[in-house]
Structure 1
């Protein structure tokens, strides 16, 4: 089935679906209907809704579609590069809409860090490692992705970690990486890497405030778990770069 054969646009159908979306809100449409709107098809048109439903089923649902690689998605039978690009663009817009509107947000707790990272780390199929660099007032001055790995591993070069901090003249850093499996429980390797990086940071007079492992809608803070070497958590609810009021 060719790309243009995915659903025929019934006369007036697109206009009706748009009116329904504006009247009831996008949340009133199903995942399949939203895909049809993204493609410029009427959700109720012949073949359109069936094609959208088949795509979601083939990919394993909307979240799996979010995790799909561009090359993989454009190769789906009946989809084609144009509609694949439309889907990818819509999904990326959704991700970006979740990001903090502040260019340099002030983040003081593991929960705030998790909320900040979720749009970037929450739906990836491979592990990535971020270094969040802070000044003395808990303001994020740089967010660097320093490593990308596979489904269950991500080799991290300490030189890349500390280079990001030094270039941004950071006072402290927060380490973060994701677990594509959805389980945020730190592995033995995660804990070992953290201890190694904390030891290296001391030589550079840097504070490692925390290491967050991000899973599917959840996270683990190594500081909260007591897994961060020499960790000092001021109030058990927030950390502070300077150790004072910030």
Structure 2
């Protein structure tokens, strides 16, 4: 048996190596599941033992505006924050990306039949990006997704799209129908006049190739706008559903 002083001395290093409450947080995680923990608690578990871990986790969540803001931060900028550095930055960003990927559809070639299903399929990939990207979703006549191809990447406010890249992807997959999608990093999914003009140009090109353009979705912060549902897709005024077999209607 050790004296009180000996026990304190023997355990002093391990007690000081972790912030107060970290063991309790881990215990709650195992007993109640990760969903029972707050965002800072989850981050503190991820960052591991350290005298400033809990404070750092609180700062990352509240000081930066939440996990969504954290995803949008430049990695090099994040590295410069006190007590973070490149190793912990990599841990945090890798964990956030794993969470995004876990939300994606598990089917390799899912059937997507509505704008809402397209949004649910794409939002884990597009919502957290800091730049605009343009995707072409290629379908067969049974609404089975043959491929989801990123054909352009731009800046915060614009994304130049080459129609040749769009239809090269469609032709290589022998697609009979397409849905276009791009994100607005600002969070506002309202389509611009340029978005509408580009859609009309691409739909016209598709007619020459015998490939239907079913819709164009603009994704914002947890929301989307379907040009089909807005009546802004050429030749589909008044319609709000589509099929890769019969076209919009």
- Greater CA deviation, 133-142 or 63-72? 63-72
Aligned length: 232
1:32 to 36, 40, 51: 40
Query: What is residue 4 of structure 1 aligned with on the other side?
Result: none
Shift in Å at residue 24 of structure 1?
A: 2.0
Query: What is residue 242 of structure 2 aligned with on the other side?
Result: 239
Unaligned runs of 5+ in 1: 1-7
Q: Secondary structure at the match of 1:133?
A: strand
2:143 to 123, 138, 142: 138
Shift in Å at residue 48 of structure 1?
A: 1.8
1:18 matched to 2:22? The reply is: no
1:223 matched to 2:231? The reply is: no
1:122-161 to 2 correspondences below 5 Å: 122-161=127-166
Q: Is the 8 A contact 2:19 2:53 kept in 1?
A: no
1:197 matched to 2:202? The reply is: yes
1:46-65 to 2 correspondences below 5 Å: 46-65=51-70
* TM-score after normalising by structure 2: 0.87
1:84 to 61, 83, 89: 89
For 1:86 and 1:117, locate their aligned partners in 2 and report how far apart those are by CA, in whole Å: 24
For 1:31 and 1:13, locate their aligned partners in 2 and report how far apart those are by CA, in whole Å: 15
Query: What is residue 168 of structure 1 aligned with on the other side?
Result: 173
Query: What is residue 182 of structure 2 aligned with on the other side?
Result: 177
For 2:231 and 2:237, locate their aligned partners in 1 and report how far apart those are by CA, in whole Å: 9
Cα deviation 1:148-185 (Å, max 9, x = unaligned) = 11111111111111111011110010000011111111
> Residues 86 and 229 of structure 1: is their aligned pair in 2 closer, same or farther, counting only changes over 3 Å?
same
Q: Is the 8 A contact 2:19 2:52 kept in 1?
A: no
Shift in Å at residue 78 of structure 1?
A: 1.9
For 1:60 and 1:230, locate their aligned partners in 2 and report how far apart those are by CA, in whole Å: 43
For 2:72 and 2:23, locate their aligned partners in 1 and report how far apart those are by CA, in whole Å: 31
Q: Secondary structure at the match of 1:173?
A: strand
Structure with more relative contact order (C-alpha pairs < 8 Å, separation 6 or more)? 1
Shift in Å at residue 74 of structure 1?
A: 2.3
- Greater CA deviation, 161-170 or 74-83? 74-83
Unaligned runs of 5+ in 2: 1-15
